[in-house]
Amino acid sequence: MMDIVRAGPLTTVQDLGRPGWAHLGVPRSGALDPPALRLANRLVGNAEDAAGLEITAAGCAVRLRKAGTFALTGALARVTVGGRPACYGVPVAAPAGAVVEVGRAEYGVRSYLAVAGGIAVPPVLGSRSTDTLSGLGPAPLRDGDVLPIGPAATPSTVDFVPWQAPPAVLELRVRLGPRRDWFTSAAVEALLGTQYTVSAVSNRVGARLSGAALARAREGELPSEGVVLGAVQVPASGQPLIFLADHPTTGGYPVIAVVDDVSPLAQALPGTTVRFHGSER
């Protein structure tokens, strides 16, 4: 078992999500930075889809009741075990009863803590992920919560991984549509030719952007229709919103484009510059 000593502002259990349920109104959810979670799991010998902790911005502290191995990836943060400094991006042995503390993110937004054996909360629709929109899966963690840990697998032979700082400018590839025809040519040119910045009100549902407003070519309302991970939805304000892991499965605002890979947005601080590059396909 693992005790949550300090949960921080938003620490959740995440694996690689529950795809395949959109027809029932259930979003994919899962880690916002899947490569970081996969890496943390590999470092401690878990399967890549094992559940770990997604820790947002201000860190957290946990206590392992039995001796175990953990690894921290994603946003760079200071780590201590029993008050002593430990390393980021490597497998670290923690004795029974030691408090593992993850500090405030120094670069990036979300850190991932994997423990050998994985977090073994009961799966819901095939996933242990917390979905902050629908409420499926375990609730966001609070101080005093207790999480079960599964049996540890074969330890990893990897002892070091390089770390790369998140880029100051995110270059996101998009495919225009499906509702490009709802926008003026000037709006498409603005989307692809100007810079946007990540808003402070972004969350696991979506990354809100600030920049040139995207004007519509049509009046009226669009009937609700299915939306996907990475959809760039444009509400009445004209400011684009990129749907992330906990996005709704339907929406009534037109989608001007879809981002091919949203994982870089997991580490995008408010104020980060975003540039879109697009095609018709």
Fold adopted by 169-279: Cyclophilin (2.40.100)
Q: Which contiguous run of DSSP H or E holds residue 187? A: helix 185-193
Q: Which option is the CATH number for 2-147: 1.10.3470, 1.20.1050, 2.60.120, 3.30.530?
A: 2.60.120
Residue 131 token pair: 């979905």
Cα→Cα distances 94→49, 87, 125, Å:
22, 12, 32
Q: Report the DSSP pairing between strands 206-210 and 255-259.
A: unpaired
Q: What is the rounded distance in angstroms from the CA atom of residue 40 to the CA atom of residue 37? A: 5
Q: What was the pLDDT predicted at 176?
A: 97
Burial (0-12, 13-18, 19+ Cβ within 10 Å), 160: exposed
Instruction: State pTM to two decimals.
Output: 0.95
Q: What was the pLDDT predicted at 193?
A: 96
Residue 115 token pair: 């423990």
Facing residues of 62 across strands? 4, 100
Counted residue by residue, the chain has a size of 281
Assess contact for 174 and 231: CB atoms under 8 A: no
In the chain, where the domains are located: 2-147, 169-279
Q: What is the rounded distance in angstroms from the CA atom of residue 197 to the CA atom of residue 241? A: 11
Q: What was the pLDDT predicted at 159?
A: 64
Equal fold, 2-147 vs 169-279? no
Q: What was the pLDDT predicted at 281?
A: 56
Render each residue's pLDDT in the chain as its tens digit; 281 residues. Answer: 999 999 999 999 999 999 999 888 898 999 999 999 999 999 999 999 999 999 999 999 999 999 999 999 999 999 999 999 999 999 999 999 999 999 999 999 999 999 999 999 999 999 999 999 999 999 999 999 999 999 987 766 666 677 788 888 999 999 999 999 999 999 999 999 999 999 999 999 999 999 999 999 998 889 999 999 999 999 999 999 999 999 999 999 999 999 999 999 999 999 999 999 987 65
